[in-house]
Amino acid sequence: MDPIHQTVTQTLGKTTFTWNEDTPLEFEAVTREAVGEPAYLRKYDLTHLVAGFEESFLLSLKALIMHRHLTVRVVSVNKEYGDILRLLKRVQSDQTSMDLNKRLMQADKISAIDSGLMFAIREKLAEDAGWIHRDCIGVLSRWFRFAGHGPVFIDLERGDFPTRDLSGKVERTRQIIIAQAMSRTLQIAVLTDVERRFQAGEIHLGVYVLWNLTNTLYARPESLRQIRCGDLTYAVSKVTRQIEYTLWVMPAKRGGKRMRYPLTQFLGHMLVKQQAWVVENIGPLYGLAAGIDPEQRKAIEQQLALFPRINAGKRHDFEVKHFGMIESGEGISENYLIPIQRCLDYIHVNFTVMRHTIGTQLAAAGVSAAVIQAVLRHANDSTARFYIDLAAKELREALNSGLEALEELFPAYNAFMNAEQTRAMAQQFPERVVNSRGPIDPQTGAMEIEITGGCGKSAACAFAPLSCYGCWRWIANVDADHSVNLRLVQERIAENEEFGKPMQAIVERDRLLEKLIELRMGQFERHKAEQPQQQPVLTEGDQ
C-alpha cells in the first residue's frame, strides 16, 4: 500500500489489480500472459450499482471478477463483465423504481443473488421476454458454477436460473453455419480474386498476406493481431535442403505459450516479404534508424507487430507501447478484413466464415472431435462436436435427396495417408496409385517418381496427379513432396503468359489450380503438425 496516494495493489496469477482505498469499487487490471508479451489494461467500475446493491455484495463481486481472471482470458472476462453489469443495472432499475410493483425484492438494497431474486427475474421474463437478454442470464449462471455458494451466490441451485428451449437456437446456428461455410471451389475462387487485385495494386501487401494466412491457419483475429515479426522463424532443413518456415501463434482463448504452425514455402515467403515491409515502413516509428546498435536493432525488429495498423489515423497508446500491435480483434478486421470485403461484393467473408468452412469440411470427412478441436484450437471439444452433429444431420438429409447434395453442402476435406500407409496401399491396389514425376537426375538421367496419394475410385484417372488436388475422392500422401506439382503448374503459367490473350483462359484455369495446390499443401502441413510424434523403434544393434 502507498500511504501517500492511498493505492492498493494485488496480484492474482498473470494479472495485477490496482485501486484507491477510498474508492475500492473502481479498479484497474493489467494482465500479461507471459514474459515479453503485451500488457493489457482493463478498467472496472461497480459504483454504478451502489443504488440497488449493498456495498458488501459489490466488494464480493469485485473479488469474483478478480478471481475470474485466473480462469479465462482478458477479452472473455471483459465481455462477461459487460453482460453481468447490464443485468445488474436492469435489476437495480426495477429495484429502485418508485412503483413498488416493479421492485424485485422487499429490501431497499440487494445483498446477494439468491433463489428469491432468481424467482423474481424468472417472473419478469415471463411477463416480458425482452426484459433482459438471455445471454446475460447465461453468464450469471456460468459465474455461479465457477464461484459456487458464498457471499455473491446464496441458497441457489443451477435449476433456479431461467432457461429456454434451445432447439430453435441450435437449428438457427446450424443454418447459419451451412450458409456461411464456403465450398472449396468458392474458397479457391476468392483466393484467386484477391491475388488478382493484389497484383493490380488494389490491395495492400499485408491484406493479401493475412488473407492467405487465414486460409491456412483459420485463426481468430485475437490470435492474428498478436503475431510479431520475431514469431516468424525459418531455417534450411538438413533433410530436404529447403527453407522450412514456422509461425508461433498465441491461442486466442487459452493463455500460456505460443503454438507452433508449420508453413508452406509460398506462405512463408510471403510472410518474409510482409516482415521486410514492416521493418522498413513501421520500424522507424519505434527507433529503427541508420547507425543503431545491431543488438538493439534486432530487439526492435523482433518486437514489431507483423500486422500493424496500415490505414491512416493516429496510433493508439497501446500500439505505441507495443511496437505497433493493434489492441483488439476489431482493429485487425478494420485494417485487414474490410478491404477484402469491399472487393468481394458477391460473397460475405470474415474470420468466422473461414472457421465454419474448415469445421464443416473436417466433420464431413468423418474426423473426430479431437482433431477438429486441435485444428481450430478450441479450448474444449464441445464446439467441435457441434460440427460433427451438424454433419451427421446433413448426411441423413442428403441421403434422402441424393448424394450430390452432400458434396455441395460439405466439399470433402479429404482423408490423409502417411508414407507407410501409401506404400501398403500401392502393394494392395496398384491401379489406384497416383504418381508425381519429379525432376530428372542430371547424373543418371532417371526421373524421380513419387507416390502422392491414392484414388478412392477403382483406378486413377488420366488427369492425375494435378486433377487430384480438387477431387473429393483423393486420399493424399502428406509425406510426399507436393511442391513438384506446384512448380509444374507455375512453370506452365509462365510459359502460357508469354502468348498473351490466346492463352488467357488456360492461364486463369492454372492460377486456380495453383491456389488449390497451395491450399491443400497448407492443409497437409497442419495435419502433420497435429499428429503425435512417433518414437523410433530400437533394434538390438541400436541398443
Helices (H) and strands (E) in the chain, counts: 20, 11
Residue type, 39: A
Placement of cell 520475431 in the chain:
230
Please tell me whether residue 138 adopts helix, strand or coil conformation: helix
Contact of 486 with 518, CB cutoff 8 Å = yes
DSSP 24: T
pLDDT at 55: 94
Beta strands in 173-290 (DSSP E): 232-236, 243-249, 259-263
Query: What's the pLDDT tens digit per position in 440-487?
Result: 666 666 666 778 888 876 667 767 788 787 776 788 888 888 888 888
Rounded to the nearest 5 degrees, what angle is found at the Cα of 363, between the Cα atoms of 360 and 366?
150
**Cα(36)–Cα(159) distance, integer angstroms:** 44
Going by C-alpha positions, the residue among 87, 206, 99 that lies closest to residue 143 is: 87
Q: What is the mean pLDDT of residues 195-201?
A: 86
pLDDT at 17: 96
Alpha carbon distance, N-terminus to C-terminus of the chain: 62
pLDDT band at 204, cuts 50/70/90? very high
**Cα(500)–Cα(106) distance, integer angstroms:** 83
Instruction: For residue 476, list its beta bridge partners.
Output: 416, 453
**Cα(272)–Cα(213) distance, integer angstroms:** 12
Count other C-beta atoms under 10 Å from residue 23's C-beta.
11
Q: What is the CA radius of gyration of the chain?
A: 28
135 against 36, higher pLDDT: 135
**Cα(13)–Cα(482) distance, integer angstroms:** 46
pLDDT at 181: 59
DSSP 53: B
Predicted TM-score (pTM) above 0.75:
no
Placement of cell 437456437 in the chain:
169
Contact of 288 with 300, CB cutoff 8 Å = yes
- Omega of the bond leading into 465 within 30 degrees of 0 (cis): yes
Residue type, 497: E
Rounded to the nearest 5 degrees, what angle is found at the Cα of 312, between the Cα atoms of 311 and 317?
95
DSSP string, 270-324: HHHHHHHHHHHHTGGGGT--TT--HHHHHHHHHHSBSS---SSSPPPHHHHHTTT
Rounded to the nearest 5 degrees, what angle is found at the Cα of 519, between the Cα atoms of 508 and 186?
60
pLDDT band at 18, cuts 50/70/90? very high
Query: What's the pLDDT tens digit per position in 86-114?
Result: 999 999 999 898 887 788 888 889 999 99
Checking if the pLDDT of 399 tops 70, the result is: no
Strand 26-32 with 15-20, pairing: antiparallel
Q: What is the mean pLDDT of residues 320-346?
A: 85
Going by C-alpha positions, the residue among 41, 40, 44 that lies closest to residue 19 is: 44
**Cα(297)–Cα(316) distance, integer angstroms:** 23
- 367 phi/psi in degrees, rounded to 5: -75, 165
Please tell me whether residue 524 adopts helix, strand or coil conformation: helix
Is residue 43 within a helix (H) or strand (E), and if so which, with residue range?
strand 39-45
pLDDT band at 311, cuts 50/70/90? confident
Listed ranges 269-278, 511-520, 528-537; the one with the highest mean pLDDT: 269-278
pLDDT at 3: 53
Q: 192 is written with which cell numbers?
A: 484467386
Instruction: For residue 110, list its beta bridge partners.
Output: 53
Query: How would you write 443-456 as a 3-class SS string?
Result: CCCCEEEEEEEECC
pLDDT at 409: 39
Residue ranges covered by each domain of the chain:
7-164, 183-348, 416-530
Quick one: 490 exposed, middle or buried, by C-beta within 10 A (0-12, 13-18, 19+)? middle
217 against 165, higher pLDDT: 217
Q: What is the mean pLDDT of residues 373-389?
A: 55
Checking if the pLDDT of 270 tops 80, the result is: yes
**Cα(86)–Cα(90) distance, integer angstroms:** 6
Strand 39-45 with 416-417, pairing: unpaired
Query: What's the pLDDT tens digit per position in 34-73?
Result: 777 888 889 999 999 999 999 999 999 999 999 999 888 7
Please tell me whether residue 253 adopts helix, strand or coil conformation: coil
pLDDT band at 25, cuts 50/70/90? very high
Contact of 450 with 438, CB cutoff 8 Å = yes
Going by C-alpha positions, the residue among 212, 459, 190, 470 that lies closest to residue 343 is: 190
Give one word for 197, left, alpha or beta, with left for phi > 0 and alpha for psi -120 to 50: alpha
Q: 396 is written with which cell numbers?
A: 441423413
Contact of 271 with 213, CB cutoff 8 Å = yes
pLDDT at 379: 53
153 contacts: CB under 8 Å, gap ≥ 6: 112, 113, 114, 143, 144, 147
